[in-house]
Each structure stands twice: as structure tokens, then as C-alpha cells.
């Protein structure tokens, strides 16, 4: 499918003029939200990306102004905890990638269920109060100018032809999203996978963003990356491409919720409802390169064949329990000094 | 003023004590209260964090669980040892280079007849405006072993040699060239204010120009050299952006990158980070103590009650050699990285296959600038940054003047404590100090949290050591006899400060306020915890572009930031020149 056709199809929800407002909430909720007229959104996602989400939301609900506070994951959690303890939490909606940390704050959040709750995979939820407004997935990206024989599977990334720091990796302990990939590699691709790959000589990067930049510049030729990080660059014409491997796509469902202290609870609910709706999810898939945690995705990223590609969601228990010992082993295998 | 007339004056101590007797204890108490609020209170929070495993705001002081675990973990972790060693090598090497460059530069600009000095002086300060993260990114673009622009050029002209800035040598060079302006600022103002008669005496006695420089000139401005090198060393210790961009690809960790990892951990390990910060503070305290011990008991007063003009050494044809040296430095430190940033900002993507690809004009556009200005946060962040920079410069400048004067020009008891307290924040890395301010000030009544003022307060506290040290150099150079003359003529303390000290120290005051303004505009660590949606600043937005992997937008936004700073600094430079001229008239 051509990209333009694909995007138009994915955004079909947005352009359908008579689409029922009830998908996003009752008439009363929308009226109350518009009366509040504003909300404050705390996010650990990239500000630029979330600006686009807000813009799209405002096309549907122009009367609600969304103010955003963005900080990297760990710093955002510290800030939320401290503000809450001082009784000064300004957030109406909080969006965070680390489900474990958000679960620790579960009592801080009010009860909330989106109208389309039944559409979501139960394994993507860690609490009935927290919902995956954003879901990201891992792809294999490569520089089209440098790689003649592109990898097609995760296993290909252990081939000798890619030795000598051609492959770049985000360090295992960089955060929850990378830990998801590391866990997937060990559980699904086998106990020897890391060893075989590390033997090739791997260039290590502290996070996904500098790695995606290094890939486009040609510092490395191949890199496992979160699809959304490389997707916008590909759309803009960068010399890069990304594939989803048949062994599985590790996904990271975020945990988003509405604090009990929200001053604009109706606007917050409407914003959450819209982001979790088919329209909100389809927009994020088509425009931002996200995946979704919906059982029946409203759209698929380019190159995603639902008959072949399966998503892989980490079990929450082992996700927390195995983290430290496995990351220690990963560090040793890849020669990363913690 | 001659020795005879000085001897005719009453004892200095008697004179200086007289106008201060009434208000001195009150004044010292006032300064100590201000410093307690700005420094001790947040530091206690930090110590509380380092010595416990609880958060003072969330858990409350009542639930203090004392624990030395964090210190033990830090002290016995061999990766911390390695990071510490790397930091010392990188910052030590960087300081040596910064002192060499800064000193040579200030001598060329102030004391020689090298052509285009004004232009060289202005341009040499540019590295100071560049956020460390941007400097790291720019040198990554230039000096990467695989795709660096320098290596592309070498390949094109057939040179086999390749540079690799993803290395310890790369870190040292970038630290050295970017922090040379710190040394330059201190030493240039000291050289400018130095009485040339001492050098003339040396030359009359038969010493060569070279001997004079090393036996008279540089020893006389020793406090400025030491202050500049100490400050640049300690500032380098706290820099995250350069080692993050250049050290990470080579797996070279320093303390700041280690601390950043601790704070970005899930869950963030602030208590351990606080323990590392305390260790850093101890190292800095030792350095400050060593500096004071070296300088103790020596007089460096070179600005006396006699009119003079700094003498420019006639280098003859050698002036073109010094001009060539200065130009080479400027090319390396200003033109090359700026060119890299311009290429990154205007090029759609930074994939440059060979030298010819660099001139493929189809690859260039305004797309990154358009994207930056399409973002509604951009204009808001620029305005907020200017506002917070101005408040910080004015309030911080005034406070630093008050502290600097009290510490350097009076003998009131308590001034040593004031000096110590004003120096402490230099040792705390921005990310950790950010959380200390958040812990300390969020609970204050009066709605300070969430305003521009809380950011400005944090910056004033964080950069007080830089400002006070920069000002102290100016104070050290003004001879007491000038104030004494004013008191004899019946001026009170405030009158003396207004008519004598302030005009003479004005170049230093303007330089310190400018420095404060620049530092406030670049500051990221403490902004990250204290900004809200209405008070976003440029540094936070820049980090967001960088973290988003947008080298193009990062470069475009940093060029915008550089242009704004250059315009504002041009203005202050113009003001400072006016001030220098009027102070020359006073002298």
C-alpha cells in the first residue's frame, strides 16, 4: 500500500464528519470538559511528538487548551512524587513508559475506564486505573546507503557479515523500553543470542535517540530501534528503512492515568478517552510510528503483516523480577561498565 | 600614592572599622540568612538524601532512616573509581589546555599590539555561549572516526591521518578549548588592571620580554590564573553534555554521566547520586582550600591610586605571528564547530558519503528552522529564558557584589563563613542540585513554585561561586588606599562604595553579570525540576530536541540561541566599554 493511501485510510476516523462524539464520552462529559477549558499533561514521551498529539486532539476539541510538562522518565517520577507530597501536583493527566513505577503510585490515581476498555489487551494493563495511551514497538532499522544485504530477522543480527561495530545497540540498563527488548532476546531468541551478537563487536549508545541519529549519519549501519524514533526520519526522506521481524515485536504499553487531585477531571477524562479511542490510536500509528495495545488494531505500520508479525508483551511479574540479574549478565556479555 | 603619604595615614584597621561598626553584625547576619536559604537549606536536603534512603518531602523528616549504604556503595564500586579517574584526567588535562590557551590569549589581546585585537577578544568568548551538549554534538559531527567532517576532508585531500574525538584526547581538547574563556576572563581583566611600571622596572633592569612575562607579569596575576583554572576545573567536573556526546560512544564514563544514569534509573537513585555529589563537594573543598593556602599572606594589589594605561608591547613583525596564532585558535574553536552546526542545521540529514556530497545543494533547506518555529514552545521558551536570565543577572550580580565586598574588603567577623558558603554550590552537579532545590523550596508558602522566580533563585544560588570569584579578582586588585582616601574626605561606607569601589570594579561587575546571564541561559540541570508548562526555558527544549535524536533541530535551535546571546553580549560589551572608560577617568 502506498504511504499516502495508507495514511489516509488510517486517518479515516478523523475525517468522517458524522462520526459519533459518543466514542469519546457522553454529551455531559464533553460539555463539562469544555467548560473547564484546559488541562495540564505530564509526559515522559518526547515533547515534539506529544505536541502533535495535542494538535490533533484540538482539531476535535478546540475549546480545551492542553499545557504540557515534559521530563525524562526518572526525573518526571521524582517530580510527580515530590509535587504530590507537597500538595502541588499540577497534572491532570500523566503519561509514563515505566509501568512498574506508575504502579507504585497507583493510589494517587482516580478510577478511570475508557469507553472502549474492552478493546484493549488485558496483558497491556498493570492496573484498572492506568491505560496504554501510547504503545511503542521494537523494529530493526538500517542505513539504506550502507547495507547491501539488509537483515530480515532478529537472528540475522548474529551473522558474521555484520561484524566490526556495524550494529549499534542502546545499552540494556537504559530504561524500561530497552529492558523489554533485552528480555525478549533472552526469552525468545535463546540464551546464546547475546553472546553470539556481542562477539561481532557492537557499538553501544546511551539511548535510542542518539543511536537513530548515528544510524542516519552512517556511524552504524544497523540498529534495533523503537519504530517511532526512526519512523519520522524515514518519512522525511532519511537514508534509512525499518522492518518488523517475524520472531516477534516486543512492545511497550505505557501507563497513563488521571490523578485524584486533578483540577480538570472532565477535560482529563476526555483527553484520555480520545487518545485511547480508535481515532487517537490510528493517528498515533499513522503519523507518529506508534504501535497499539488494542486487540484489533485500527491500522498497521508500513510493512506490518498481521498474519506473520506477532507482538510480544512481557509478563509483568518476570519483567520486574528478572530485571537486575539479567541486566547484570547483559552488561558483562556486551562489556558495558555499569 | 607614595609610601610617605600612606605612612601618614592612620592604621588601616582603625579606619576600616569605623564606618562599619554600627551595621556590621546586622549586615553579616543578613548575608548569612540569605546564604542559609540559598545554600545551606538545599544542601541539608542533599545531605539528608545521601545519609538516608528516604525523600525528605515525600517521607517527611520524621521518617529519617539513617543509612551509610549509599556512601559505601559509591566508595567501593570500581566503576565509580574508574569514572572518578576518567573525570580527573579529562578535567585536569582540559584545565592545563584551558590555562595555556586562555593566558596566551589574554596576553595577546591586552598586552600586545597584535592587529584586530577587539575582534579577536569578542570572538574568543563565543565558546562560552555554546551549551556543552551542543559543543559535544558539534565536535561529534566534526571528529567522529567514521563519518566526521574533518576525516571526510582529510580523505578528499589524500591525507591518511584520521582524527577520533570519541576518545579521552577528544574530551580533553574539547574541554580545554571551550573552557579557555573562563581563564581568559579572569586573566584579561587582571592584565588590563595591572600597573605596567613593574614590568618597565624589570625591563630597565635588563630582563628580556620573555623573562618579564614569566617572572613579573604572570606571577602578579597569579590569583586570577588560579581562580580561573580552579573554576574551569570544577565547572568541567560538573559538565554532562560533552562527555555524554563524546565519551559515551567510546564507553568512557565520567562522574557526571554516572550521576545522570543514577537519576535516569528506574526508579531514580537520587540518594546514591547525592552521595556522589557529596564526594565531589569534598574534592572541590580541598581544591578551594589549596587555592586559599597558596594565596594566603600575599598581596596582589596592582591597581593603585595612580593613573596609568595598560602598556601594549610592540611585537614588530612578530605581531602577525600572534595574529596567526589567535586566528588559528578562533578557526578551531569558533569557525569549525559553527560550520558543523550550520551544516547540521540546514542539511536535511547528516549522511555525507564523501566530500562532494557536502556541496549537494538539494540537501539543504530551512526545514529544521521552520519546525523549530512551528513549535509553540519555542517563542515561549525564548521569552522565559531572557526573563529568567535578566532576573538572575541583576539579583545574582547584586548579591555577589555584596558578598565579594564583605569578604574581600572588610574585616568583619563571619566573612570566612560567608566565603565558604558562597563557594559550596560549585561542587554540586546540576542534576543533583536541581532535586535539592525542588526538595527544599516546593513546600514554601507564597506560591514560589511554578514561577520564573524559583528558577532565577536556583540559578543565583547555583552560580554564586562563579560570580563571586569573578568579582573577587576585581576587588583584590583595588588598593585599600583609594577607599581610605574617600573616608578621610568624609564619605560614608555606602558613599565610598558608590563613588570609588563600584566605578573601579564596574568592568568586573559587568563581566560577572554577563557571565551569570550566559550561565543562566545555558543551565539545564536545575531547570528540569523547577520549570512548569508556563515557565519552560530554552535549555529544557534543547534537551528535548537532542533526546528526540534531532541533530538538525538541535543545531538550528542552538544557532538561534547563539544569535540571541551574541546580540545581548554585544550590548553588554558596549556597556562594559563605556564603564571601562569612565572607570579609567576615575582612576
Contacts of A205 in chain B (CB under 8 A): 248-249
Question: Based on the domain organization, do B543 and B572 belong to the same domain?
Answer: yes
Number of Cβ pairs closer than 8 Å across A and B?
Answer: 158
Mutate to test the interface with A, among B269, B533, B539, B553 (most CBs of A within 10 A): B533
Supply the mean pLDDT for chain B.
79
Comparing CB atoms, the residue among A51, A86, A233 nearest residue B442 is A86
Of A75, A81, A205, Cβ closest to residue B248: A205
For residue range B146-195, list pLDDT tens digits in order: 888 999 999 898 888 889 999 999 999 999 998 898 888 778 877 877 77
Buried b (16+ CB within 10 A) or exposed e, B172-204: bbbbbbbbbbbbbbbbbbbbbbbbbeebeebee
Residue B212 falls within a domain, yes or no?
yes
Confirm whether B231 is domain-assigned: yes
Cβ <8 Å between A206 and B244: yes
Say whether both B205 and B354 belong to one domain: yes
CB contact under 8 A, B450 and A90: yes
Chain A residues in contact with B376 by the CB 8 A cut-off are 51
Cβ–Cβ contact B62 with A under 8 A: no
A chain contacts of residue B261, beta-carbon cutoff 8 Å: 173
CB–CB contact B79 A336 (8 Å)? no
Chain A window 274-333: which residues touch B at a Cβ cutoff of 8 Å?
Answer: none
B294 domain-assigned: no
**Euclidean distance between CA atoms B191 and B218, whole angstroms:** 9
B351:A145 CB<8 A = yes
Residues B516 and B544 in one domain: yes
pLDDT value at B327 more than 60:
yes
Instruction: Please indicate, yes or no, whether residues B317 and B458 belong to a single structural domain of this protein.
Output: no
**Would you place residue B73 in the very low, low, confident or very high pLDDT band (cuts 50, 70, 90)?**
confident
The grid coordinates listed for B542 are 534543547
Query: A-chain residues within 8 Å CB-CB of B248?
Result: 204-206, 210
Domain check: are B448 and B347 in the same one?
Answer: no
The residue with cell 595574529 is: B323
Cross-chain Cβ contact B547/A49 below 8 Å: no
0.90 surpassed by pTM: no
Across B250-254, B543-547, B567-571, which has the greatest mean pLDDT? B250-254
User: In the 8-state DSSP scheme, what is residue A312?
Assistant: E
Do B390 and B501 belong to one domain? yes
CATH code at B137? Answer: 1.10.3720.10
pLDDT score for B296: 62
A101 in contact with B, Cβ within 8 Å: yes
Residue B73 resides in a domain:
no
A306 Cβ contact partners less than 8 Å away, ≥ 6 residues apart: A297, A300
Q: Which residues of A touch B79 (CB under 8 A)?
A: 337-338
Domain final residue, candidates B365, B383, B407: B365
Q: Is B268 on the interface with A (CB under 8 A)?
A: yes
Contacts of A212 in chain B (CB under 8 A): 549
Chain B, residues 151-170, CB within 8 A of chain A, namely: none
pLDDT at B206 over 90: no
Of A84, A176, A219, the CB nearest to B147: A219
Query: Cβ of A68 and B533 within 8 Å?
Result: yes
Residue A178, all three cell numbers: 530497552
Distances from the Cα of A103 to the Cαs of A97, A130, B29, in angstroms? Answer: 11, 8, 48
Using a CB-CB distance cutoff of 8 angstroms, which residues of chain B are in contact with residue A332?
none
Q: Which residues of chain B have a CB within 8 Å of the CB of A73?
A: 264, 266
Q: Of chain B residues 303-362, which have a CB less than 8 A from chain A?
A: 348-353
Asked whether the beta carbons of B66 and B52 are under 8 A apart, the reply is yes
3-class secondary structure, A252: strand
With a cut of 70, say whether residue B276 has pLDDT above it: yes
Q: Check pLDDT > 80 for residue B503.
A: no
Cell (9 digits) for A121: 489487551
Of A46, A68, A206, nearest to B248 by CB-CB distance is: A206
Is A216 part of the contact surface with chain B (CB cutoff 8 Å)?
yes
Selected for mutation to probe chain B from A103, A105, A209, A234 (highest B CB count within 10 Å) is A209
Provide the 8-state DSSP code for B11.
Answer: P
Q: Across the interface, do B548 and A86 touch by the CB < 8 Å criterion?
A: no
pLDDT above 60: residue B6: no
Looking at CA atoms only, how far is residue A102 from chain B in angstroms? 10
Strand, coil or helix: A40: strand
Name the domain boundary from B365, B381, B416. B365
The domain total for chain B is 2
List where CATH 3.40.190.10 sits in chain A.
3-134+254-288, 136-251+304-334
Residues of A in contact with B377 (CB under 8 A): 47, 51
Lowest mean pLDDT among A164-168, B142-146, B378-382, B528-532: B528-532
Q: Which residues of A touch B551 (CB under 8 A)?
A: 213, 217
| HSE-up of residue B572 (Cα within 13 Å, Cβ side) | 24
A175/B264 Cβ within 8 A: yes
pLDDT at B319: 84
| Interface membership of A204 toward B (CB under 8 Å) | yes
Cβ of A82 within 8 Å of Cβ of B251? The answer is: no
Domain boundary among B365, B380, B407: B365
Percent of chain B predicted with pLDDT > 90: 14
- Is B569 within 8 Å of B518 (Cβ atoms)? yes
Positive or negative, the CA dihedral B418, B420, B426, B428 is: negative
3-state secondary structure of B166: coil
> Is B547–A207 a contact, with Cβ atoms under 8 angstroms apart?
yes
Highest mean pLDDT range out of A10-14, B20-24, B298-302, B362-366? Answer: B362-366
Q: Which residues of B touch A85 (CB under 8 A)?
A: 55, 57-58
B57/A82 touch (CB, cutoff 8 Å), yes or no: yes
Q: CA-CA distance, B412 to B436, in Å (whole number)? A: 31
The beta-carbon neighbor of B551 closest among A71, A85, A213 is A213
Q: What residue ranges of chain A have pLDDT lower than 50?
A: 1-20
Check A48 against B375: CB less than 8 A apart: yes
CATH number of A3-134+254-288: 3.40.190.10
**Number of Cβ atoms within 10 Å of the Cβ of B572:** 17
Candidates A69, A101, A203; nearest CB to B533: A69
- Of the candidates B377, B439, B553, the beta carbon closest to that of A82 is on B439
> By the 8 A CB rule, do B391 and B460 touch?
no
Contacts of A185 (CB under 8 A, 6+ apart): A154, A193, A194
Is residue B367 predicted with pLDDT exceeding 70? yes
Whether A212 has its CB under 8 Å from any CB of chain B: the answer is: yes
Do A233 and B349 lie within an 8 Å CB cutoff?
A: yes
Selection from A173, A174, A188, A171 nearest residue A311 by Cα: A188
Overall average pLDDT of the B68-97 stretch: 88
Secondary structure, 3-state, B439-460: HHHCCCCCCCCCCHHHHHHHHH
| Mean pLDDT on B33-48 | 86
Q: Give the per-residue pLDDT at B394.
A: 93
Clarify whether residues B382 and B504 are in a common domain.
yes
CA distances from A130 to A74, A126, A127, B326 (A): 18, 7, 5, 60
Q: Is B549 on the interface with A (CB under 8 A)?
A: yes
The pLDDT value given to residue A34: 95
CA–CA separation, B256 and B499 (whole Å): 44
Cell representation of residue B447 = 506560591
Give per-residue pLDDT as tens, A201-251. 998 887 888 899 889 989 899 999 999 989 988 998 899 999 999 999 999
Q: Do B531 and A206 touch (CB under 8 A)?
A: no
Q: Give the pLDDT score at A59.
A: 95
pLDDT of B581? 57
Kindly list the residues from chain B whose CB atom is less than 8 angstroms away from the CB atom of residue A79: 438, 529
Nearest CA in chain A to B553: A48
Query: Is B4 among the domain residues?
Result: no
Helices within B77-221 (DSSP H only): 78-111, 117-124, 126-129, 132-143, 149-156, 168-192, 197-204, 209-212, 218-220
| Closest chain B residue to the Cα of A166, Cα to Cα | B146
Query: Whole domain around residue B131: which residue ranges?
Result: 80-255+304-365
**Phi, psi values for residue A39, rounded to 5°:** -155, 155
**For residue A21, what pLDDT is reported?**
55
Q: Which homologous superfamily is A136-251+304-334 in?
A: Periplasmic binding protein-like II (3.40.190.10)
Chain B residue nearest residue A240, CA to CA:
B351
> Is the CB of A48 less than 8 angstroms away from the CB of B82?
no
Measured between CB atoms, does B248 come within 8 Å of chain A? yes
* pLDDT at site B56: 66
For residue A20, the model assigns a pLDDT of 47
3 state DSSP class of B15: helix
Are A51 and A82 in contact by the 8 Å Cβ rule? The answer is no
Judge whether B442 lies within some domain: yes
B528 with A337: Cβ contact below 8 A? no
Amino acid at each position: 500500500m502506498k504511504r499516502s493511501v495508507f495514511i489516509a485510510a488510517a486517518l479515516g476516523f478523523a475525517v468522517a464528519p458524522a462520526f459519533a462524539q459518543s466514542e469519546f464520552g457522553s454529551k455531559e462529559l464533553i460539555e463539562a470538559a469544555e467548560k473547564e477549558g484546559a488541562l495540564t499533561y505530564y509526559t515522559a514521551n518526547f515533547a515534539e511528538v506529544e505536541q502533535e498529539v495535542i494538535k490533533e486532539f484540538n482539531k476535535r476539541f478546540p475549546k480545551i487548551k492542553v499545557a504540557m510538562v515534559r521530563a525524562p522518565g526518572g526525573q518526571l517520577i521524582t517530580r510527580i512524587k515530590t509535587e504530590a507530597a507537597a500538595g502541588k501536583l499540577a497534572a491532570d493527566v500523566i503519561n509514563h513508559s515505566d509501568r512498574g513505577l506508575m504502579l507504585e503510585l497507583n493510589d494517587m490515581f482516580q478510577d478511570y475506564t475508557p469507553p472502549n476498555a474492552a478493546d484493549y489487551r488485558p496483558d497491556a494493563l498493570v492496573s484498572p486505573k492506568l491505560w496504554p495511551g501510547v504503545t511503542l514497538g521494537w523494529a530493526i532499522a538500517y542505513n539504506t546507503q550502507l547495507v547491501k544485504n539488509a537483515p530480515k530477522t532478529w537472528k540475522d543480527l548474529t551473522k558474521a557479515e555484520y561484524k566490526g561495530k556495524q550494529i549499534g545497540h542502546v545499552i540494556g540498563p537504559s530504561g524500561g523500553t530497552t529492558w523489554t527488548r533485552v528480555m525478549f532476546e533472552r526469552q525468545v531468541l535463546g540464551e546464546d543470542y547475546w553472546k553470539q551478537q556481542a562477539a561481532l563487536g557492537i557499538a553501544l549508545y546511551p539511548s535510542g535517540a542518539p543511536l537513530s541519529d548515528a544510524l542516519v549519519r552512517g556511524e552504524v549501519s544497523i540498529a534495533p530501534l523503537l519504530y517511532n524514533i526512526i519512523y519520522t526520519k524515514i518519512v522525511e526522506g532519511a537514508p534509512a528503512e525499518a522492518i518488523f521481524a517475524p520472531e516477534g515485536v516486543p512492545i511497550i504499553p505505557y501507563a497513563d492515568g488521571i490523578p485524584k487531585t486533578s483540577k480538570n477531571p472532565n477535560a482529563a477524562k476526555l483527553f484520555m478517552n480520545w487518545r485511547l479511542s480508535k481515532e487517537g490510536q490510528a493517528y498515533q500509528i499513522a503519523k507518529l510510528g506508534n504501535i497499539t495495545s488494542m486487540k484489533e488494531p485500527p491500522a498497521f505500520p508500513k510493512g506490518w503483516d498481521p498474519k506473520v508479525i506477532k507482538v510480544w508483551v512481557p509478563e509483568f511479574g518476570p519483567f520486574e523480577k528478572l530485571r537486575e540479574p539479567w541486566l547484570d549478565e547483559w552488561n558483562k556479555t556486551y562489556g558495558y561498565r555499569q | 600614592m607614595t609610601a610617605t603619604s600612606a605612612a601618614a595615614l592612620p592604621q588601616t584597621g582603625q579606619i576600616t572599622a569605623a564606618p562599619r561598626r554600627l551595621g556590621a553584625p546586622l549586615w553579616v547576619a543578613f548575608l548569612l540568612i540569605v546564604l542559609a536559604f540559598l545554600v545551606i537549606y538545599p544542601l541539608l536536603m542533599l545531605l539528608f538524601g545521601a545519609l538516608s534512603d528516604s525523600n525528605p518531602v515525600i517521607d517527611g523528616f520524621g521518617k529519617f532512616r539513617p543509612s551509610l549504604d549509599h556512601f559505601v556503595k559509591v566508595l567501593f564500586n570500581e566503576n565509580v573509581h574508574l569514572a572518578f579517574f576518567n573525570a580527573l584526567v579529562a578535567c585536569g588535562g582540559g584545565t592545563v589546555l584551558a590555562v595555556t590557551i586562555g593566558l596566551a590569549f589574554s596576553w595577546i589581546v591586552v598586552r600586545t599590539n597584535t592587529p584586530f585585537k577587539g575582534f579577536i577578544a569578542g570572538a574568543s568568548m563565543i565558546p562560552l555561549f555554546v551549551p556543552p551538549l551542543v559543543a559535544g554534538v558539534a565536535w561529534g559531527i566534526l571528529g567522529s572516526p567514521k563519518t566526521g567532517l574533518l576525516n571526510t576532508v582529510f580523505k578528499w585531500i589524500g591525507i591518511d591521518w584520521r582524527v577520533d574525538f570519541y576518545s579521552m584526547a577528544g574530551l580533553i581538547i574539547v574541554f580545554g578549548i571551550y573552557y579557555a574563556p573562563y581563564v581568559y576572563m579572569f586573566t584579561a581583566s587582571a592584565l588590563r588592571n595591572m600597573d605596567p611600571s613593574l614590568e618597565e622596572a624589570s625591563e630597565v633592569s635588563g630582563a628580556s620580554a620573555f623573562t618579564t612575562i614569566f617572572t613579573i607579569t604572570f606571577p602578579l596575576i597569579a590569583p586570577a590564573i588560579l581562580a580561573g583554572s580552579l573554576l574551569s576545573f570544577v565547572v568541567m567536573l560538573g559538565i554532562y553534555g560533552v562527555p555524554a556526546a563524546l565519551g559515551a560512544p567510546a564507553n568512557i564514563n565520567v562522574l557526571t554521566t554516572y550521576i545522570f544514569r543514577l537519576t535516569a534509573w528506574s526508579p531514580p537513585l537520587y540518594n546514591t547520586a547525592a552521595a556522589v555529589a557529596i564526594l565531589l563537594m569534598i574534592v572541590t573543598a580541598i581544591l578551594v582550600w589549596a587555592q586559599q593556602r597558596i594565596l594566603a599572606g600575599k598581596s596582589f594589589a596592582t591597581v593603585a591610586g595612580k593613573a596609568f594605561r595598560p602598556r601594549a608591547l610592540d611585537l614588530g613583525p612578530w605581531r602577525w605571528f600572534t595574529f596567526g596564532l589567535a586566528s588559528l585558535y578562533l578557526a578551531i574553536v569558533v569557525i569549525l564547530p559553527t560550520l558543523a552546526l550550520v551544516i547540521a542545521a540546514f542539511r536535511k540529514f547528516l549522511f555525507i558519503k564523501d566530500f562532494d556530497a557536502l556541496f549537494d545543494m538539494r540537501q539543504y533547506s530551512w526545514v529544521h528552522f521552520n519546525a523549530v518555529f512551528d513549535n509553540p514552545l519555542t517563542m515561549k521558551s525564548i521569552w522565559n529564558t531572557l526573563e529568567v536570565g535578566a532576573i538572575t543577572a541583576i539579583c545574582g550580580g547584586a548579591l555577589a557584589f555584596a558578598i565579594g565586598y564583605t569578604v574581600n574588603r572588610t574585616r568583619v567577623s563571619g566573612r570566612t563563613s560567608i566565603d565558604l558558603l558562597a563557594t559550596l554550590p560549585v561542587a554540586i552537579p546540576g542534576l543533583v542540585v536541581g532535586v535539592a532545590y525542588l526538595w527544599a523550596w516546593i513546600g514554601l508558602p507564597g506560591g514560589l513554585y511554578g514561577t520564573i522566580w524559583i528558577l532565577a533563585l536556583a540559578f543565583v544560588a547555583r552560580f554564586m561561586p562563579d560570580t563571586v570569584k569573578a568579582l573577587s579578582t576585581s576587588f583584590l586588585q583595588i588598593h585599600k588606599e583609594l577607599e581610605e582616601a574617600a573616608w578621610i574626605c568624609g564619605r560614608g561606607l555606602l558613599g565610598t562604595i558608590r563613588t570609588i569601589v563600584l566605578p573601579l570594579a564596574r568592568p568586573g561587575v559587568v563581566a560577572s553579570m554577563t557571565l551569570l546571564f550566559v550561565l543562566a541561559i545555558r543551565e539545564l540541570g536545575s531547570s528540569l525540576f523547577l520549570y512548569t508548562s508556563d515557565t519552560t526555558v530554552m535549555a529544557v527544549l534543547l534537551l528535548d530536541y537532542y533526546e528526540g535524536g534531532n541533530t538538525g533541530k538541535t543545531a538550528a535551535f542552538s544557532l538561534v540561541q547563539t544569535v540571541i546571546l551574541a546580540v545581548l553580549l554585544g550590548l553588554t560589551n558596549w556597556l562594559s566599554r563605556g564603564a571601562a572608560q569612565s572607570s579609567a577617568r576615575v582612576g
